[in-house]
């Protein structure tokens, strides 16, 4: 290598390649679908409709920020303070009301630790995202699972009735996962205010950026208000495309954030920090991702309506519908055609969770499903 060629200059070429790949993702080039065989229409790379990821990856600006940050990758520290300042301005809460974790999963697990410091119980809907409840149960906390109602929505009256004197925390995922329904905003706020008077309420808002429903509201305004028993979690894994980069955020009263920070054990790489600092200010890419998600969702829900299939109206970047067959069988048949779909979610054995891929990939999913089952 030319000794006069600096590492930054070497990375400049890499940045050009990365930027080109990112631009290709933004303008329709397919990272996942790859080339399609004109005869079989089989994707050359499996379409990932299984993990609620952003199929377009991080924004081009975030990728460039990571490339530019390589020169600092040997250093401790980062730009976490700048990230807190940006999020503070976006959400109108003080920086000391925000904590950073290696994905929102770390915030969930830290909260599970807090809930388990004193023996007791934790109330959660069922099914829902299970990372917090699994951790709390492993630490000795009793999990009280409250089944969703007949419409597959979280029933707040049933949740409230399940609370016991020893309940340390109530967990709500809104929109829920794997059932992408929301909780009506006034009922949600009334519930959180009431329950948070004497126990923690954890509100997981991993998918809130995708919600376009006047009946929904984030509970961030309760953090702004200063309620001391409310934690709101957010993640960059979904709309920002950071599922493999790992950064998430917890919002709460400064005293509660200090307690969370005492039990958070992980750290976020300097590359991810720089990427997040840019991504949260890149409204164009967020808007692009929302538009493409809506396009894909319209194709998928159009199939449900056409075929008369039962489904949960989605408020996120994934769908949940009744396939008519056992989900193990469904997953196997779809994988044979180059499509990966979600795991089992008891007790809904004949239902499938399907993440929204690129519109052309969703169209292929619809074509495949119709050829197999309609």
The domain that contains 140 carries what CATH number? 3.40.640.10
Distance from C-alpha of 98 to C-alpha of 224, rounded to nearest angstrom: 11
- For 351, the domain range is 7-58+283-373
| Domain termination site, one of 279, 299, 331 | 279
**pLDDT, the chain, mean:** 91
Tell me, yes or no, whether 267 lies in a domain. yes
156 and 174 co-located in one domain: yes
Q: Is the pLDDT of residue 39 over 50?
A: no
Residues 47/360, Cβ–Cβ less than 8 Å: no
pLDDT value of position 111: 98
Name the residue with tokens 């830290």.
110
**Omega cis (within 30) before 178:** yes
Tell me, yes or no, whether 1 lies in a domain. no
pLDDT band at 4 (very low <50, low <70, confident <90, very high): very low
pLDDT value of position 374: 82
What are the residue ranges of helices labelled H in the chain? 7-26, 60-68, 80-91, 104-116, 131-138, 156-162, 185-195, 220-225, 254-263, 270-279, 283-307, 327-336, 359-373
Q: Distances from the Cα of 70 to the Cαs of 45, 153, 163, 202, 271, in angstroms?
A: 29, 45, 49, 36, 7
pLDDT value of position 247: 98
Residues 279/59, Cβ–Cβ less than 8 Å: yes
Average pLDDT over residues 258-284: 96
| Domain termination site, one of 264, 279, 294 | 279
Show the tokens assigned to 142. Answer: 């009793």
By C-alpha distance, which of 250, 246, 271 is closest to 262? 250
pLDDT band at 26 (very low <50, low <70, confident <90, very high): low
- For the chain, helix, strand, coil in percent to 5 are 45, 15, 40
240 and 341 co-located in one domain: no
51 and 72 co-located in one domain: no
Tell me, yes or no, whether 166 lies in a domain. yes
Distance from C-alpha of 129 to C-alpha of 108, rounded to nearest angstrom: 10
51 and 194 co-located in one domain: no
User: What does pTM read for this prediction?
Assistant: 0.90
Per-residue pLDDT of 77-122, as tens digits, reads: 999 999 999 999 999 999 999 999 999 999 999 999 999 999 999 9
pLDDT value of position 42: 85
By C-alpha distance, which of 106, 151, 144 is closest to 125? 144
Average pLDDT over residues 156-162: 98
Distance from C-alpha of 276 to C-alpha of 103, rounded to nearest angstrom: 11
Q: Is the pLDDT of residue 142 over 80?
A: yes
170 and 304 co-located in one domain: no
Tell me, yes or no, whether 2 lies in a domain. no
234 and 117 co-located in one domain: yes
Distance from C-alpha of 156 to C-alpha of 181, rounded to nearest angstrom: 13
pLDDT value of position 170: 98
143 and 169 co-located in one domain: yes
Tell me, yes or no, whether 44 lies in a domain. yes
Of 30-44, 61-75, 145-159, 276-290, give the lowest mean pLDDT range: 30-44
Total number of domains constituting the chain: 2
| Domain termination site, one of 279, 314, 340 | 279
pLDDT band at 3 (very low <50, low <70, confident <90, very high): very low
27 and 74 co-located in one domain: no
Per-residue pLDDT of 182-236, as tens digits, reads: 999 999 999 999 999 999 999 999 999 999 999 999 999 999 999 999 999 999 9
pLDDT band at 266 (very low <50, low <70, confident <90, very high): confident
pLDDT value of position 11: 44
For residues 21 and 349, the model is more confident at 349
Q: Is the pLDDT of residue 51 over 60?
A: yes
Tell me, yes or no, whether 215 lies in a domain. yes
106 and 229 co-located in one domain: yes
Q: Is the pLDDT of residue 5 over 50?
A: no
Tell me, yes or no, whether 87 lies in a domain. yes
Side-chain-side CA neighbours of 133 within 13 Å: the count stands at 21
By C-alpha distance, which of 67, 63, 99 is closest to 81? 99
pLDDT band at 16 (very low <50, low <70, confident <90, very high): very low
239 and 221 co-located in one domain: yes
By C-alpha distance, which of 226, 207, 228 is closest to 218? 207
pLDDT value of position 112: 98
91 and 180 co-located in one domain: yes
The domain that contains 296 carries what CATH number? 3.90.1150.10
Return the bridge partners of 126, or none. Answer: 147
Return the bridge partners of 61, or none. Answer: none
Percent of the chain with pLDDT over 70: 89
Tell me, yes or no, whether 154 lies in a domain. yes
Q: Is the pLDDT of residue 15 over 90?
A: no
pLDDT band at 27 (very low <50, low <70, confident <90, very high): very low
Percent of the chain with pLDDT over 90: 87
pLDDT value of position 147: 98
338 and 251 co-located in one domain: no
């Amino acid at each position: 290598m030319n000794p006069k060629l600096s590492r930054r200059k070497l990375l400049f070429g890499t940045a050009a390649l990365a930027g080109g790949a990112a631009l290709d993702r933004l303008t329709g080039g397919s990272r996942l679908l790859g080339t399609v065989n004109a005869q079989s229409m089989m994707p050359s790379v499996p379409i990932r409709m299984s993990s609620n990821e952003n199929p377009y990856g991080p924004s081009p600006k975030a990728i460039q920020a990571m490339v530019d940050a390589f020169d600092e990758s040997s250093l401790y520290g980062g730009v976490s303070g700048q990230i807190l300042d940006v999020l503070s301005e976006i959400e109108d809460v003080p920086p000391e009301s925000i904590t950073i974790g290696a994905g929102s999963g770390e915030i969930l697990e830290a909260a599970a630790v807090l809930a388990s410091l004193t023996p007791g119980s934790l109330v959660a809907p069922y099914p829902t995202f299970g990372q917090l409840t699994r951790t709390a149960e492993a630490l000795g906390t009793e999990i009280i699972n409250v089944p969703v109602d007949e419409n597959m929505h979280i029933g707040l009256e049933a949740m409230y009735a399940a609370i016991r004197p020893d309940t340390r925390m109530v967990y709500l995922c809104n929109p829920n996962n794997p059932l992408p329904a929301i909780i009506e905003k006034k009922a949600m706020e009334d519930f959180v205010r009431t329950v948070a008077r004497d126990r923690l309420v954890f509100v997981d808002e991993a998918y809130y950026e995708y919600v376009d429903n006047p009946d929904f509201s984030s509970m961030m305004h309760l953090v702004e208000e200063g309620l001391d028993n409310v934690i709101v979690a957010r993640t960059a894994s979904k709309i920002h495309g950071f599922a493999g980069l790992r950064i998430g955020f917890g919002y709460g009263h400064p005293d509660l954030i200090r307690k969370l920070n005492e039990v958070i054990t992980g750290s976020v790489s300097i590359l991810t920090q720089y990427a997040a600092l840019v991504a949260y200010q890149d409204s164009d890419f967020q808007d692009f991702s929302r538009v493409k998600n809506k396009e894909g969702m319209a194709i998928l829900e159009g199939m449900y309506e056409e075929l008369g299939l039962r489904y949960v109206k989605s408020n996120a970047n994934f769908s949940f519908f009744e396939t008519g067959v056992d989900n193990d069988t469904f997953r196997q048949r779809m994988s044979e055609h180059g499509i990966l779909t979600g795991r089992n979610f008891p007790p809904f054995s004949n239902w499938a969770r399907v993440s929204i891929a690129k519109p052309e990939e969703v169209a292929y999913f619809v074509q495949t499903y119709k050829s197999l089952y309609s």
